[in-house]
Amino acid sequence: MNEENGKNNKSFEYETNNLIRSTLNEKESVKDLENIAPKPSNQLTNGLLGWYSVSSSESIKEGKLNHFTIYNEPLVLYRDREGIVKCVKDVCPHRGASFLGGEVINGQLVCPYHGARFSSQGSCTNLDRITCQHIIDSNYDNYAKSIKLFQYPCVEKEGYIYIYYTGTPLANIEDFQIKSSINSLLPDSYGFPSLEYEYEEVYVDFKADWARIIENHLDILHVFWMHGDTIPDKNVSRETITSFNQKIKRDNRQIESIYSYKTNGQEEFIRIKFVPPGRIFIYKGSPESTRYIQVLDHIPLGNNKARVIVRHYRKFLKNKLFTNLVLFSHLQRRTFYKIFSEDYLVLKTQTFNDQMGYIQKDNVKLLGEDKMVQYYWDWLQNALNKEKPWDIHPTNSLTNSVHDDRGMQYPPENPNMAIKNNRKIIIKLLTRLLFPISFILLLI
Ligand code: FES
Ligand SMILES: [Fe+2]
């Protein structure tokens, strides 16, 4: 299972059906869906409810529960007996316990309270546990038979886990029909040959507003100051102030902002794509010729709590031997970790002022002068007005921290990853030095 995921993760060949691992696709063929899928129109129609990339495939291990929240609603991810990922509301349908401390046994979710086990479809498979003979009420038996887990549609594709979040989990997930609009909103492939790239990812949780984090990632201004000394590019440095031509492209799936050089209008500096509700691609240069890409997935965990899955891709030479010899992937990771930390610092500044109440709508000039950001806020405002996602599970700020221990991955793990990476570099360099030295010693 994991090996297969690993493969998918590095794979770029996307065929609509066979990389999607889900029970959802059994009933309808992709061909039918394509026939009824809406034609693109020149506007973003995606609402905030939609496909969220909530995790990498690798981090959802068999036999383990993974707790998180979306819009304050506590959820659990796990793999069933077939290794298919399930997304379940973290409320046991028996007596409302959380699955915190529960187990996955033979791919069945087991509640820690009375030990009810649930099949992949969501029904209880050990009714005797919860309908013991001492229970006199004969209706209890019927009640127990009818309990079902509440689930969200969930698919696994190219190393990501997506859930289709609607704010209303389904008791009978097998009845769920893929509607054309839902299918057409599932984010498609990366759009670049990821096998050719060195790759690293981190999960970072912030106590900050989800929408502000997305805005921060759409902002190219900070690249020069914050990453100027880290990114090896002559046009990106603290000393350079460059201005670019900006071209915006929009369709019903995404907003794209293309920044090209003023001197040579054909040459792209950076391209940023925003795919609602929460995915951003940042290409250094044009997508066809780029050697560096970031993929950022944003998940609205709750009020002022957001998770970002940051993925960096960097292309080097195809010659693996040479790439290994110069320790390219380790050295590249050093840069990745540095950029992770820099972006983390930026977002911490947002968090701090947000929590202190310093950021008020009127006294902070948001990046509205950048058309990309303007379109993003327009989309967000429309989507919020239409969907009102925060009204679905309003949670009191005093009580909604109950999940943080299990759900939040805060602070981020990248400082540890950087230390481990540095250790590997030292060990590799030492072994490379030791080999010729011992050879010389043997000769003496
Ligand atoms: S509350 Fe879950 S088994 Fe009773
Ligand atoms: Fe007890």
Per-residue pLDDT tens over the stretch 12-52: 222 233 333 444 444 443 334 334 334 334 457 667 888 89
CA–centroid distance, 318 to ligand 2, in Å, is: 61
Query: Do 376 and 280 contact (CB within 8 A), yes or no?
Result: no
Three-state secondary structure call for residue 258: strand
Band of residue 119 on the pLDDT scale cut at 50, 70, 90:
very high
Pocket test for ligand 1, best of 111, 125, 129, 148 (most atoms within 8 A of CB): 111
> Is residue 442 a part of any domain in this protein?
no
Q: What is the pLDDT of residues 215-232, one digit of tens each?
A: 888 988 888 888 888 877
Q: What single DSSP character describes residue 123?
A: B
Q: What is the pLDDT of residues 144-154, one digit of tens each?
A: 889 999 999 88
Q: Domain containing 34 — which CATH number?
A: 2.102.10.10
Residue 118 scores a pLDDT above 80: yes
Give the atom of ligand 1 at the shortest distance from the alpha carbon of 129: 3
Residue 98 vs residue 231, higher pLDDT: 98
Q: Are residues 278 and 296 in the same domain?
A: yes
DSSP string, 269-301: EEEEEEETTTEEEEEES-TTT-SEEEEEEEEEE
Most confident option among 17-26, 196-205, 236-245:
236-245
> Is residue 335 a part of any domain in this protein?
yes
Average pLDDT for 158-174: 86
Q: Is the CB of 143 under 6 A from ligand 1?
A: no
pLDDT at 8: 35
CA distance 215 to 376: 8
Q: Are residues 392 and 270 in the same domain?
A: yes
Residue 82 vs residue 433, higher pLDDT: 82
Buried b (16+ CB within 10 A) or exposed e, 265-276: eeebbbbbbbbb
Q: Is the CB of 111 under 6 A from ligand 1?
A: yes
pLDDT at 175: 65
Using a pLDDT cut of 90, give the percent of the chain over it.
Answer: 21
Residue 64 scores a pLDDT above 90: yes
End-to-end CA distance of the chain: 52
Last residue of a domain, one of 165, 185, 205: 185
Q: Domain containing 401 — which CATH number?
A: 3.90.380.10
How many CB atoms are closer than 10 A to CB 234?
6
Query: Do 354 and 304 contact (CB within 8 A), yes or no?
Result: yes
Residue 238 vs residue 366, higher pLDDT: 238
CA–centroid distance, 115 to ligand 1, in Å, is: 6
pLDDT at 320: 72
Q: Is the CB of 113 under 6 A from ligand 1?
A: yes
Q: Are residues 142 and 267 in the same domain?
A: no
CA–centroid distance, 410 to ligand 1, in Å, is: 30
Last residue of a domain, one of 132, 161, 185: 185
Q: Are residues 94 and 121 in the same domain?
A: yes
Q: Are residues 290 and 358 in the same domain?
A: yes
Residue 402 scores a pLDDT above 80: no
| Residues in a beta bridge with 163 | 52, 154
Query: Which residues contact residue 101 at a Cβ distance below 8 angstroms, ignoring those fewer than 6 apart?
Result: 112
> Is residue 309 a part of any domain in this protein?
yes
Q: Is the CB of 101 under 6 A from ligand 1?
A: no
pLDDT at 22: 46
ipTM of the complex: 0.95
Q: At what angle do helices 371-387 and 210-218 cross, to 10 degrees?
A: 160
Domain that holds residue 162: 2-185
Average pLDDT for 381-405: 77
Pocket test for ligand 1, best of 88, 89, 95, 110 (most atoms within 8 A of CB): 95
CA–centroid distance, 152 to ligand 1, in Å, is: 20
CA–centroid distance, 113 to ligand 2, in Å, is: 9
Query: Which residues contact residue 91 at a Cβ distance below 8 angstroms, ignoring those fewer than 6 apart?
Result: 74, 97, 98, 150
Q: Which amino acid is at 369?
A: E
> Is residue 443 a part of any domain in this protein?
no
Q: How many structural domains does the chain have?
A: 2
Q: Are residues 212 and 348 in the same domain?
A: yes
Most confident option among 60-69, 185-194, 257-266, 297-306:
60-69
> Is residue 438 a part of any domain in this protein?
no
Residue 158 vs residue 391, higher pLDDT: 391
Counting ligands in written order, the one closest to the CA of 113 is 1
How many CB atoms are closer than 10 A to CB 206?
26
Of 104-118, 220-234, 266-280, the one with minimum mean pLDDT is 220-234
**Nearest CA among 66, 1, 46 for reference residue 254:** 46
Average pLDDT for 106-122: 95
> Is residue 262 a part of any domain in this protein?
yes
Q: Are residues 258 and 354 in the same domain?
A: yes
Distance of CA 39 to the CA centre of its chain: 27
> Is residue 179 a part of any domain in this protein?
yes
Task: Return the residue whose CA atom lies nearest to atom 1 of ligand 1.
Answer: 95
> Is residue 439 a part of any domain in this protein?
no
Q: Are residues 175 and 228 in the same domain?
A: no
Q: Which two tokens stand for residue 292?
A: 């560096």
Q: Is the CB of 428 under 6 A from ligand 1?
A: no
Q: Is the CB of 154 under 6 A from ligand 1?
A: no
Q: Are residues 202 and 245 in the same domain?
A: yes
Q: Are residues 150 and 253 in the same domain?
A: no
* Mean pLDDT score of the chain: 77
Q: Are residues 348 and 245 in the same domain?
A: yes
Counting ligands in written order, the one closest to the CA of 115 is 1
Phi first, then psi, for residue 433 (nearest 5°) are -80, -40
Residue 363 scores a pLDDT above 60: no
Q: Is the CB of 114 under 6 A from ligand 1?
A: yes
Q: Work out the angle at residue 192's Cα, subtended by the Cα atoms of residues 337 and 9, and round it to the nearest 5 degrees.
A: 65
**Nearest CA among 248, 269, 203 for reference residue 378:** 248
Q: Is the CB of 116 under 6 A from ligand 1?
A: yes
Backbone torsion region of residue 350, taken as left when φ is above 0, otherwise alpha when ψ lies between -120 and 50, otherwise beta: alpha
Q: Is the CB of 249 under 6 A from ligand 1?
A: no
Query: Do 29 and 85 contact (CB within 8 A), yes or no?
Result: no
Last residue of a domain, one of 150, 185, 220: 185
Q: Which two tokens stand for residue 53?
A: 């990339």
pLDDT at 33: 35
Q: Are residues 172 and 134 in the same domain?
A: yes
**Nearest CA among 225, 220, 261, 258 for reference residue 240:** 225
Band of residue 256 on the pLDDT scale cut at 50, 70, 90:
very high
pLDDT at 410: 52
CA-based diameter of the chain, in Å?
Answer: 91
